[in-house]
Structure 1
């Protein structure tokens, strides 16, 4: 759902420290236990938070839409600077923003990878590429550099014994997701990363073969989290508890309810909110990809990106204390542990 939203990962998170440094009141509305939460949405999509509201799991909380986000990093930066009350992004972006001293805390997972919701690395059916070593000197098209797809490629190569120097010989090319299939079929790239609707439509056409996917590499895992500022949490603990628990319940509902019923509900939500958008993409919805009960956050879902960013030199080792970056404290739908 948010594959394209990670496009500005490096640029925006690099600026995040400056944005936050100039904002001493990154606390949302400042009202103790506010009943209104400002947020950004996405055209033609329904987030777990929006689903939670429609299912009545947010009790008397009101979600106030202030516009659509251009990326996950921009979304959580808006929350950190007080322009919105919460935001969601790829966990690597959450780690990077925290490294820039943003006073944020991840409170619940909201998207991930499973057998239905995954990003695959595809080649043409007749491609000679069959193994990791075959990728040396080849072009791999992905939505952005320094984020989820490049991390998965690095992990794939490392897991199969390729050195850092050898990994560097695999050329990573930025290709807009809507152009990836065409670029792959035309031979402009040898490997293309496809997910969601774009993946399903490309596979319907035929002629492509999966080399590997993020789900193949790591199994089911949560990939992104909703965050609030620490100050907002301190001032509005009851509100945060209702929100986090409600999102967790909505995720559980989406996972245990027949797909047709979920798609019908999502389509109904888009139809009622009047944002001049198409509900057509929802026909391809299969899963939010969050398998953890109640959207519970596991430390590993943040440490894997913390380690990867450290290895790349994007952040310093020990710069981010992952244990302080997330909490399951407010999630009554996932009460075990932290």
Structure 2
């Protein structure tokens, strides 16, 4: 049975069974091809097969997502590691990482042909960031402090939104730098703006994007958390196997996210560039967290980033990093308990096209 037929049969078998609704907040309002572990389970029915109707909600930043989760507005949140740590250390919120998705790939992009050659040259300048509620703000402030710049006095950090709006702010001189994650910086370069990327090279050795939830949610519904991560792991493996297939499925299932402004071949390459940039950080996270189980979250991986935040005065105390991660015996093994070869073969053949309309 082909993957398409298997998908259809699975859906039909569950048509009369009520699906449990689950909501996930993502700290970005641009739900494009760069989030395959969250978007592909919807398109390919991985979560529906597990019995869940999942809604991915784009919000202004990781901090807003955390606030929504803390107030009961969403069940899980995709947030930056800095926000996960701050939630526990500074806010007393028992948030737990349940899936590792990336390393810190934020960077400060400036015009390649412009006068800014180093962080020092940004003194007195304006720096744009997607939102003042994003987890990238602590990273930017720390980067500035490391280079002798007071982020409160020596620069002006402003929210510029995402996509074309942010790029236009740089092109017009409203800001002299853009602090964004790598796939966003790649999108700016796709649009024809050559950038010099300034960042701390040690960031790539620290965890960042993490899927998390509250300890209370884990206690109340551990099966749901396990199923959500398992579906996301399937999608991760699918994406790593065949990025171009992911691009095709994403465009079919979420047509409003398809880029515009160029011919189809160029648009296809642009989105593939974005996805490959994201896959690079996903693979780095996989290796950072042990390189054995998809989505595994290693508490020890957070030691360096917590020390970084503490030394940069972003947090006033530290905790045992074991407290940042889900503790449920066999959890990560269970979230990897699926037929990996079947997913790989399905991705290689890209024989699931049309299933999103089933």
CA displacement, residues 147-168 of structure 1 (integer Å, 9 cap, x when unaligned): 5444444555566xx44x6677
Residue 96 of structure 1 is matched in structure 2 by 86
1:188 Cα deviation (Å)?
Answer: 3.3
Residue 203 of structure 2 is matched in structure 1 by 218
1:143 Cα deviation (Å)?
Answer: 2.8
1:303 Cα deviation (Å)?
Answer: 3.9
1:196 Cα deviation (Å)?
Answer: 6.1
After TM superposition, the score normalised by the length of structure 2 is 0.65
Q: 1:299-314 alignment to 2 at 5 Å?
A: 299=299, 302-314=302-314
After TM superposition, the score normalised by the length of structure 1 is 0.68
1:305 Cα deviation (Å)?
Answer: 4.5
Greater share of residues in helix: 2
Mapped contact 1:44–1:279 kept (Cα < 8 A): no
Mapped contact 1:76–1:227 kept (Cα < 8 A): no
CA pair 112-262 structure 1, distance change in 2 beyond 3 A: farther
Greater share of residues in strand: 1
1:202 aligns with 2:203: no
**In the aligned structure 2, how far is the partner of 1:195 from the partner of 1:142?**
10
Residue 323 of structure 2 is matched in structure 1 by 324
**In the aligned structure 1, how far is the partner of 2:242 from the partner of 2:194?**
29
1:197 Cα deviation (Å)?
Answer: 6.7
1:173 Cα deviation (Å)?
Answer: 1.9
1:243 aligns with 2:228: yes
CA pair 63-301 structure 1, distance change in 2 beyond 3 A: farther
CA displacement, residues 79-108 of structure 1 (integer Å, 9 cap, x when unaligned): 333333222211222222223222322111
Q: Which runs of 5+ in 1 are unaligned?
A: 1-33, 272-276
CA displacement, residues 167-206 of structure 1 (integer Å, 9 cap, x when unaligned): 7764142141343332323333332235567534532454
**In the aligned structure 2, how far is the partner of 1:70 from the partner of 1:138?**
24
Instruction: Give the secondary structure class of the aligned counterpart of 1:251.
Output: helix
Q: 1:187 aligns with which of 151, 173, 178?
A: 173
Instruction: Give the secondary structure class of the aligned counterpart of 1:331.
Output: helix
Q: 1:265 aligns with which of 215, 236, 249?
A: 249
1:324 Cα deviation (Å)?
Answer: 1.0
The number of residues matched between the two structures is: 287
1:261 Cα deviation (Å)?
Answer: 0.6
Q: 1:82 aligns with which of 54, 57, 72?
A: 72
CA pair 135-230 structure 1, distance change in 2 beyond 3 A: same
Q: Which runs of 5+ in 2 are unaligned?
A: 1-17, 261-266, 338-358
Residue 128 of structure 1 is matched in structure 2 by 115
Q: 1:147-166 alignment to 2 at 5 Å?
A: 148-154=135-141, 156=143, 162-163=147-148
Q: 1:280 aligns with which of 252, 255, 259?
A: 259
1:63 aligns with 2:53: yes
**In the aligned structure 2, how far is the partner of 1:219 from the partner of 1:305?**
11
CA pair 74-134 structure 1, distance change in 2 beyond 3 A: closer
Mapped contact 2:142–2:312 kept (Cα < 8 A): no
**In the aligned structure 2, how far is the partner of 1:194 from the partner of 1:79?**
24
**In the aligned structure 2, how far is the partner of 1:84 from the partner of 1:35?**
16
Mapped contact 1:180–1:193 kept (Cα < 8 A): no
Residue 219 of structure 2 is matched in structure 1 by 234
CA pair 334-144 structure 1, distance change in 2 beyond 3 A: same
Mapped contact 2:107–2:182 kept (Cα < 8 A): no
CA displacement, residues 31-71 of structure 1 (integer Å, 9 cap, x when unaligned): xxx96242046564355234235445444231242855343
